[in-house]
């Protein structure tokens, strides 16, 4: 096995040569690792150009050197918390060591550091045997000439400094490591208690829900934000392994309305609940806000592609005889897209739907008495959600949490009503029921006595083509919301519960993985999705790639299926 000194000699020898000379540090797979005194450096890929995607490296530190106490990663919850801390620490060390100079990405050293959420990632792995960090490096160049001596400093001096600073227990903050591990474990424990307690979500007292802005997910300054305080009637106490008893608002199963004036915190609460499927880092303010992991945010999505979805529970008798039991559209309307989004979520086993009327189609949510009188039902294809939301819970066991500010008709179908007043929640269920009794609405229920069927769909593999030009597989991502799948662009801008670019990269890889292994024209989409998630659960996110990747993050079945459903070539049997 080559050594640190061997790597230094190679880099110094190729100084001034053409950029492709960097390939010499990779060699054969068995030769692409270099032993350092306290760790091993793996060079998995070397960029062919200073302007291309940066080179991929790994460092693996044996636990005999790293010396992390086993108690910090004794279960998956603690391990993910500790790995989140280590990825953040390595990222901070990279930032402190930044000294980019030269052409293109020269001098870049970067790891896929987490945001506010703690989730399984491939950036850092800790086991009883070793700690491994995966990162990227922009190998230095002047024009397209190798700056070998600078590269030698980066890889044989700077990288060891990063490893020493970020991956050795003795040099880290033991108290903060423990907080990350315990915070993640406690959040998992809270979420695991929801079903047994008959809850769909929980918000701890003292939580700080507001964010800095719509594009900054960090918490609002504590001097400005209003700490959350549960209404007494909804307060429950749950237990955590590290923090003991935690009290807060439990949202029971069923139909819950969130009401209140504009700018009083309705959407902020719903946003916290939709992101409660993830654990949050210490100090985030939402560390003890948890939701059922199968809760799905639903919205209207004008213009989206819909392929073979049975939207007949909501929409029937379209003009020109279009079949809504197998509905397809290249340009769905607000109402048909929202109907499809709900049915697709139910197809994958969603336990709860989260809907904000601000992003919903009005004609999908409500049809009042006066409109019913003007437009007869046989002329209106849409059965509004108000007439299906109770059936959805009573027949399918699917709860709904709705932000409603414009229609008191929903009081008739709600189990509870929570009002936000200057970010302070109040249980106004009794008042809402009294108002509903006093001001009876005379609109007619529509859509029949039952919700309707959820029809399984089978993707046709011939309709899914990741190739482009001479490449059999050409799949790339652009930020959080776009996947370039072969020649097609998948738009994920309305998939609200994606929070990290690395999730989008994992989704793109998962689409190819599923297409290669499980899409046979016989398996339903739900079964395909289950197989992919099972493989990830058993073998980790690395199963999605043929080579080590440091920028994948955990995905759910719902976002995976959402990406496939938005592929414009998708065909369904």
pLDDT of residue 215: 86
* DSSP per position, 504-552: HHHHHHHHHHHHHHT-SSSS-HHHHHHHHHHHHHHH-GGGG-SS--S--
Complete edge-to-edge strand list for the sheet that includes strand 482-485: 475-478, 482-485, 488-491
Long-range contacts of 430-433, Cβ-Cβ distance < 8 Å, separation of 24 or more: 432/257, 432/259, 432/408
E strands in 4-77 = 33-35, 40-45, 55-62
Residues in the chain: 573
DSSP reduced 3-state for 58: strand
pLDDT digits (tens, 9 = 90+) for 73-128: 999 999 999 999 999 999 999 998 877 677 888 899 999 999 999 999 999 999 99
What's the pTM? 0.95
Eight-state DSSP code of residue 54 = P
Q: Are 312 and 388 in contact (CB under 8 A)?
A: no
DSSP reduced 3-state for 557: helix
* DSSP per position, 315-348: B---GGG--GGGEEESS--HHHHHHHHHHHHHHT
Residue 346 region, left (φ>0) first, then alpha (ψ -120 to 50), else beta?
alpha
Compute the CA torsion angle 234, 240, 245, 249 (nearest 10 deg). -10
Q: Which helix (H) or strand (E) holds 236?
A: strand 235-240
pLDDT digits (tens, 9 = 90+) for 12-48: 999 999 999 999 999 665 568 999 999 999 999 999 9
Q: Are 478 and 501 in contact (CB under 8 A)?
A: no
Beta-bridge partners for 202? 250, 290
Count of CB atoms situated within 10 Å of the CB of 491: 16
List average pLDDT for each run of 10 residues in the chain, which is 573 residues long.
Answer: 94 96 80 92 94 95 98 98 98 87 86 97 98 97 94 96 97 98 98 98 97 90 90 98 98 98 94 98 98 98 97 91 92 97 98 97 94 92 97 98 94 98 97 94 92 97 96 96 98 98 98 98 98 98 96 98 98 95
Eight-state DSSP code of residue 226 = P
Count of CB atoms situated within 10 Å of the CB of 56: 20
Pairwise CA distance, residues 38 & 104, whole Å:
31
E strands in 121-166 = 124-126, 130-137, 141-142, 145-146
pLDDT of residue 28: 62
Distances (CA, A) of 396 to 38, 171, 343, 352: 56, 52, 12, 10
pLDDT of residue 392: 98
Q: Which helix (H) or strand (E) holds 279?
A: strand 279-280
């Amino acid at each position: 096995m080559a050594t640190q000194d061997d790597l230094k000699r190679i880099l110094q020898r190729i100084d001034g040569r053409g950029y492709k000379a960097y390939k010499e540090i990779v060699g054969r797979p068995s030769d692409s690792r270099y032993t350092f005194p306290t760790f091993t450096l793996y060079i998995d890929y070397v960029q062919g150009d200073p302007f291309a995607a940066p080179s991929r490296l790994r460092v693996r530190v044996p636990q005999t050197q790293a010396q992390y106490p086993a108690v910090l990663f004794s279960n998956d919850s603690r391990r993910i918390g500790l790995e989140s801390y280590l990825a953040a620490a390595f990222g901070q060390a990279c930032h402190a060591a930044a000294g980019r100079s030269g052409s293109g990405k020269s001098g870049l050293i970067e790891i896929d550091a987490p945001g506010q959420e703690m989730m399984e990632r491939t950036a850092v792995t800790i086991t009883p045997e070793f700690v491994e960090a995966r990162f990227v490096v922009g190998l230095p160049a002047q024009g397209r000439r190798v700056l070998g001596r600078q590269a030698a400093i980066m890889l044989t001096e700077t990288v060891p400094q990063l490893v020493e600073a970020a991956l050795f227990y003795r040099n880290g903050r033991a108290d903060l490591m423990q907080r990350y591990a315990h915070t993640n474990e406690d959040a998992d424990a809270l979420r695991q208690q929801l079903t047994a307690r008959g809850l769909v979500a929980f918000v701890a007292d003292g939580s700080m829900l507001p964010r800095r802005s719509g594009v900054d997910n960090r918490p609002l300054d504590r001097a400005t934000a209003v700490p959350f305080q549960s209404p007494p009637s909804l307060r429950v106490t749950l237990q955590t392994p590290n923090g003991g008893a935690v009290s807060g608002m439990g949202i029971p199963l069923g139909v819950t309305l969130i009401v209140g004036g504009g700018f009083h915190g309705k959407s902020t609460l719903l946003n916290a609940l939709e992101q409660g499927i993830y654990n949050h880092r210490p100090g985030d303010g939402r560390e003890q806000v948890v939701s059922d992991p199968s809760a799905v945010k639903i919205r209207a999505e004008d213009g989206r592609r819909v392929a073979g979805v049975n939207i007949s529970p909501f929409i029937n008798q379209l003009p020109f005889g279009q079949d809504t039991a197998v509905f397809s559209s290249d340009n769905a309307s607000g109402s048909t897209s929202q109907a499809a989004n709900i049915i697709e979520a139910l197809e994958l086993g969603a336990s709860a739907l989260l809907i904000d009327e601000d992003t919903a189609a009005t004609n999908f949510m409500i049809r009042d008495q006066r409109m019913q009188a003007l437009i007869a039902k046989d002329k209106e294809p849409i059965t509004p959600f108000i007439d299906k939301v109770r059936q959805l819970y009573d027949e399918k066991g699917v709860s709904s949490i709705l932000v409603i500010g414009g229609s008191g008709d929903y009081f008739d179908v709600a189990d509870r009503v929570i009002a936000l007043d200057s970010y302070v929640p109040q249980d106004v269920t009794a008042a809402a029921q009294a108002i509903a009794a006093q001001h009876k609405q005379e609109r007619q229920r529509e859509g029949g006595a039952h919700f309707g069927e959820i029809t399984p769909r089978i993707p046709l593999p011939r309709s899914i083509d990741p190739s482009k030009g001479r490449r059999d597989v050409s799949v790339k991502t652009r930020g959080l919301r776009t996947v370039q799948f072969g020649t097609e662009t998948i738009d994920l801008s309305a998939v609200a519960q994606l929070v990290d670019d690395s999730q989008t990269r994992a989704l793109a890889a998962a689409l190819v993985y599923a297409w290669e292994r499980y899409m046979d024209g016989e398996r339903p989409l739900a079964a395909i999705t289950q197989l992919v998630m099972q493989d990830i659960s058993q073998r980790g996110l690395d199963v999605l790639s043929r080579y080590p990747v440091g920028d994948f993050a955990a995905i759910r079945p719902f976002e995976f299926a959402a990406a496939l459903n938005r592929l414009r070539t998708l065909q369904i049997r």
